[in-house]
Structure 1
Amino acid sequence: MASNQPSIPAVPGRSRFRTLRALAVSALVCFGLLVACADGEATPEGADVGPEGAAVEATFEIWAMDQGTHIIHIFDPELNETATIDLGARGAEVPHMIEFTSDHRYAFVANPATGNTAVIRAQDREVVALLDTGPRTHHAAVAPDDRRVLVSVIGAGDVAWDGKLVEIEVDLENESFTLGRELLLAEDPLFAERSDDFFETGGAVCMDFTADGRIGYVTLGPGLDEGGVVVVDLESMELIEVFGPDEVRANCGTILSPDGGHMYLVGGDADVGVWYAVDTETHTPVHQGESHGHDAHGSWVTPDGSEYWLVNRVTVVLQTLSDKWADFRSCT
Structure 2
Amino acid sequence: MKKKALLLMMSLVLMFVLAACGSTSNSNNNVNSGASTESAAPAEGSANAAAETEGNASTAAGTTEATAPAEVTIKHQLGEATLKTNPEKVVVFDFGTLDTLNKLGVNVTALPKDSLPSYLKETYTTDAYENAGTLFEPDFEKLASLKPDVIFISGRASEAYEELSKIAPTIYTGVDTAKYMESFKQNLSVIGQIFNKTAEVEAELAALEASIQSVNAAATASGKKGLIVLTTGGKMSAFGKGSRFGFIHDVLGVPASDESIEVGTHGMSVTSEFIAEKNPDYLFVVDRDAVVEKEGAKAGKDVIENALVKNTNAFKNGKIAYLDPNYWYLSGGGLESTAQMIQAVEAVVK
TM-score normalized by structure 2?
0.22
More helix by share: 2
Greater share of residues in strand: 1
| TM-score where L is the length of structure 1 | 0.23
More relative contact order, 1 or 2 (CA 8 Å, 6+ apart): 2
Structure with higher Rg: it is: 2
